[in-house]
Structure 1
Amino acid sequence: MKNQILFLSVFLISMTMFGQKDEIKAAEKALKSNDFNTAIAAINQAESLIGSADDKTKAKFYYLKGLALYQNGGPQMNVENTSAAFTQLREFEKSINSYKYSDEIGGLINKMVNGLAENASKDYSAAIESKEPADFKKAAKQFHQVYMLSKKDTVFLDNAALVYYFGKDYKTSRDLYKQLLDLNYTGIATEYIATNKSDGQDVSYPDKKAMDLQVKLGIAENPREEVKDSRRELIFKNLAQNSSDLEELNVALDYIAQGRKEFPKSYSLLIDEANIYYKLGNNPKFKELLEMAIEMNPTEPTLYYNVGVMNMDQKKIDEAIKYFEKAIELKPDYGDAYNNIGAAIIDKAAPIIEEMNKSLTDFAKYDKLQKKQFDIYKQAVPYYEKAYELNKSSISVVQTLMGLYENLGGMDDKLEALKAVYAELKGE
């Protein structure tokens, strides 16, 4: 009985092998006559049987599968499936240390890579015009396919990650950036550039040899080499941005921590970290990081302005005014800073108003306190007037200035002029 079972098993294996070979032969015959539908059908029939085939048969199967899907590069070709099939072939032959078919498809892959890269660039340009996320994702997918076909061209994986972000596919973008980190990708490369003599335009060449030949032939001049900066800092930044957009703020902070460990002097990563803490509602940490940023970049007015806002939140009025004044010193037309100095000055009247409310029956004390209140308001007026001068469309500035004029009195002309502006802004 055992012998009978063994005999049947051997018989079934033999039948499977014949089935594989028959389908592979049918696919090969169909390909010779460009009958791609028949070839694909035969490949599909053999697919379920190929697991038990020997390495030689498997390699041929993957080769024919790729050719069947490639369809001579015609319009019916499914680029994604063809790319996957060729990749499967190359990875299998690499695993068995035999490159017979991989070498044969090299020219086809180069042709696909060039075509995909060209289409990806065109689609990216179209996406920039349309600004539609779907158009960006279409271009990103093709950039990624180029990389899958030619993994030495890591820059296309970088392109895909960035363009997926533009397409608001934050998860895919993040996954691709993580691959770049795993590959220890830096993006550092030497670009070979020369000026075309006929039109004066700069041209990039794939290598120094190609550039030198053009110069030698008198077609180009002014040859030079430019080394591109590392993109790793930007990769950490974009990983954090994708995570932030996915509302995974703690994950974003982890990526920034990794980035700042590698780039401790990165102003950009520091600002991103500050913004995430602000998004988390951790204002003290936000302020602390902004103060660190000021040490790194002491001429950026926005930093002083934001620290001023944080000081106002903490009721440190004089400290806030100091930072707003520094922002104005660096940017004299900083309308929001003028507005906030005015608001900070008015805040100084808050305890006086509170005391006035407690002294409603003591007219002498009330009048004395109100004079102090109005003296403070007078200090705020020039700042609000400057804010209005710099931004005449701000309803809040106009409203505040109208209130000051009305409270202080003696400014009827200015008040009436602002009332007309206010009515116009409200569309009355």
Structure 2
Amino acid sequence: MIKADVQNNAIKDVNSDNYAEAAKKMYVLYEIDKKDTINLYLSTSYYLKVKDYDSALINYKELNKLNYTGRGMEYYAVNKKTNVDELYFSITERDSYVKAGMAEKPRNVVAVSKRNEILLNMGFIYREKKDLAAAENCYKQLVAYDPTSVDGYLELAYLSLDKKKAIGEQMSVLGTSKAEMLTYDNLKIKMDDIVKGAIKYLEKANALQPSDKTVSDLLLKLYRSMDLIAEYNALKAKTN
């Protein structure tokens, strides 16, 4: 009875776009019954929707620790008022809306894994918090879990370019003394290694999705910056 009451109130919050309150209530549902991990996932999604990144990250860490995938059945129906195909908390809730004439065209869908989404969103939050090491760890977990994740490789490349930019800023303030020139040379070697790493990530993404112009354009730019003429010409020929 308590679960039903909390869930009904959470549904009301969602229907009135009060996602912050809905997030809290879905987490309460998860605490009542920790086997029902979908409630933790929904709580996290609502926190992310209102940009409460601190609360979302706490939940994402727990989902990651649980190796949550969300695989199972999802229950959809079209909201008659908005004509939007909506996901419901349970088959009971969905069917009650259909029976009341508020929804139509019910359908059940076998859910795809949410693991990619969780790791991508965790990485995004860490980047917002300027914790690039933690973000990189999330993206590496992602490509280890799903080696076909173009988004994972692209985010790893972006992180590499953030590191390149930081090193470039260090190099730009160095003088011309012997010690500073040596530091400059060492930083240049480090920067080139970082760019080579970014290229490897982008090559994997390009192999998976050759039609993605974002990937190919960035890869062409890096090939040119590293004087990789043969690689540049080969990719350029494919994209023309």
What corresponds to 2:58 in structure 1? 175
SS at match of 1:275: helix
Q: 1:202 to 1:236 in 2, by over 3 A?
A: closer
What corresponds to 2:201 in structure 1? 289
What corresponds to 2:172 in structure 1? none
- What whole-Å deviation, never above 9, does each CA across 1:297-354 have from its counterpart, x for those lacking one? 1111222211111123224567546645644x3xxxxxxxxxxxxxxxxxxxxxxxxx
What corresponds to 2:178 in structure 1? none
- What whole-Å deviation, never above 9, does each CA across 1:398-427 have from its counterpart, x for those lacking one? xxxxxxxxxxxxxxxxxxxxxxxxxxxxxx
Does the aligned pair in 2 maintain the 1:120–1:142 contact within 8 Å? no
Give the TM-score normalised by structure 2.
0.67
What corresponds to 1:245 in structure 2? 128
Q: 1:191 to 1:158 in 2, by over 3 A?
A: closer
Matched, 1:207 2:91: yes
- What whole-Å deviation, never above 9, does each CA across 1:184-209 have from its counterpart, x for those lacking one? 32212313457899xx987877338x
Residue identity opposite 1:278 in structure 2: L
What corresponds to 2:8 in structure 1? 114
Q: How far apart, in 1, do the equivalents of 2:119 and 2:30 lie?
A: 21
Q: 1:201 to 1:314 in 2, by over 3 A?
A: closer
Q: How far apart, in 1, do the equivalents of 2:78 and 2:226 lie?
A: 58
Q: 1:156 to 1:122 in 2, by over 3 A?
A: farther
Q: 1:152 to 1:321 in 2, by over 3 A?
A: same
Q: 1:252 to 1:317 in 2, by over 3 A?
A: same
Gaps in structure 1 of 5+ consecutive residues = 1-106, 126-136, 330-428
Q: 1:289 to 1:221 in 2, by over 3 A?
A: closer
Q: Return the offset for 1:256.
A: 2.0
Matched, 1:308 2:220: yes
SS at match of 2:108: strand
Does the aligned pair in 2 maintain the 1:253–1:276 contact within 8 Å? yes
Q: How far apart, in 2, do the equivalents of 1:167 and 1:227 lie?
A: 27
Residue identity opposite 1:207 in structure 2: I
- What whole-Å deviation, never above 9, does each CA across 1:126-152 have from its counterpart, x for those lacking one? xxxxxxxxxxx4554344344334545
Mapping 1:376-387, distance limit 5 Å: none
Mapping 1:227-238, distance limit 5 Å: 227-238=110-121
Matched, 1:263 2:175: no
Residue identity opposite 2:70 in structure 1: G
SS at match of 1:227: strand
Mapping 1:145-160, distance limit 5 Å: 145-149=28-32, 151-160=34-43
Q: 1:315 to 1:158 in 2, by over 3 A?
A: same
Q: How far apart, in 1, do the equivalents of 2:45 and 2:78 lie?
A: 29
Q: How far apart, in 1, do the equivalents of 2:79 and 2:118 lie?
A: 34
SS at match of 1:225: strand
Q: Return the offset for 1:175.
A: 1.5
Identity within the alignment, %: 26
Q: 1:319 to 1:140 in 2, by over 3 A?
A: same
- What whole-Å deviation, never above 9, does each CA across 1:376-409 have from its counterpart, x for those lacking one? xxxxxxxxxxxxxxxxxxxxxxxxxxxxxxxxxx
Q: Return the offset for 1:236.
A: 1.3
Matched, 1:123 2:17: yes
Number of aligned residue pairs: 207
SS at match of 1:230: coil
Q: How far apart, in 2, do the equivalents of 1:222 and 1:316 lie?
A: 55
What corresponds to 1:298 in structure 2? 210
Q: Return the offset for 1:120.
A: 3.8
Q: 1:150 to 1:114 in 2, by over 3 A?
A: farther
Does the aligned pair in 2 maintain the 1:140–1:163 contact within 8 Å? yes
Does the aligned pair in 1 maintain the 2:6–2:25 contact within 8 Å? no
- What whole-Å deviation, never above 9, does each CA across 1:51-98 have from its counterpart, x for those lacking one? xxxxxxxxxxxxxxxxxxxxxxxxxxxxxxxxxxxxxxxxxxxxxxxx
Q: Which protein has the larger Cα radius of gyration, Structure 1 or Structure 2?
A: 1
Does the aligned pair in 1 maintain the 2:13–2:21 contact within 8 Å? no
SS at match of 1:187: coil
Q: 1:231 to 1:201 in 2, by over 3 A?
A: closer
Gaps in structure 2 of 5+ consecutive residues = 165-193
Mapping 1:321-340, distance limit 5 Å: 323=235, 326-327=238-239, 329=240
What corresponds to 1:163 in structure 2? 46
